[in-house]
Amino acid sequence: MAQLGNSTIEDWTLNPPTHLKDAVNTIIACLAVLVNGMVITVMLLRRRVFSSFTNRLILHQSFIDSIAGVIFFLHLVVIKTKQISVSVEGSMTDQFFCRLVYSDVMLWCVNITSTYNLVMISLERFMATCHPVKHRNSSSAAKLKFAVGIAWAIGFIFGLHIIFMFEPRQGYCQFIEMETALKVFEATMVVVIECLMPFTILIYTYSRIIITLTKKSAPMNGPQNAVNKAKRNILVTTMLIGIMFAVCWTPLEVLFIYEQFSGDWSTPLYDPFTTLVACNMFVNPIIYFFKYNHFRSELRQLIQKLLRRNRVGDGNGNPPTS
């Protein structure tokens, strides 16, 4: 049997997923679509009260994570790309499948877009807190479109490198063997773009915000105090989002470095760490529900309005008699 480094072809072929894995992936995908759909619904129905720059980016975050949930479900549960084999000849169809489907390139592009949308949220909060005058004068629909466009551009331009990592070989989609220098460059770029750069920006912006708020923490009364509480609440919310991003992504990034330089691609940690990354698709709305007071208040009002409407409808179910 042909050897691939220190492993055989079987080492490169994932075992068919168990029913438990399918169930877990289905639950993750459903949660991603449902809870992000809840955020989208609330913010669109209450778009006047969620019209700020930050809230528009939060809305965009939920759109991204909903799309990621759908792609995740299609790839891992419906199509089950890792189980599909290709022909021994390695035709153009096989090349297309290995590079664009088996590689999960679309899913990773959307995941990276989600990462950089979080970065945009942190930068917006940094400007609003540390440079409020400049922020008020520069906030506009054009700036929002620019921030959204940058997130998608980084996600897809960088994510497309994944299509050059796989090829059909001996009837299987396999990693392309690279020279050591190219392997080091590729691993460095992945870690920097996916992990180091976002972490650095998140840590810097939120550290500066905390320092600025600490210096400005003079006691205030009345409306100004209420405004400051609201700003602190959304700051805590966005900080928790950044922390959960770090918790979900760091293990997989460390594992990637280990696999890239050890050649051990059969580690049992890949599946649980990938699942942890997938959990980042639905964790943000949970944070909004428990920590974002404004969102929770608007959600409660919508639910109460819906319940009152249903009660009124039940009470007037029969037409009045003359």
pLDDT digits over 151-174, tens only? Answer: 999 999 988 888 888 888 888 888
**265 compared with 62, residue with greater pLDDT:** 62
In a domain, 319, yes or no: no
In a domain, 147, yes or no: yes
- What's 205's domain CATH number? 1.20.1070.10
In a domain, 299, yes or no: no
- Coil/strand/helix, residue 4: strand
In a domain, 314, yes or no: no
In a domain, 73, yes or no: yes
Per-residue pLDDT reduced to its tens digit, 251-265:
888 888 787 777 666
Per-residue pLDDT reduced to its tens digit, 37-58:
999 999 999 988 898 888 999 9
Least confident span in 4-8, 96-100, 301-305: 4-8
In a domain, 321, yes or no: no
Number of domains composing the chain: 1
In a domain, 161, yes or no: yes
Structural domain including 65 reads 7-293
In a domain, 26, yes or no: yes
How many whole angstroms separate alpha carbon 179 and alpha carbon 317? 74
How many whole angstroms separate alpha carbon 39 and alpha carbon 253? 29
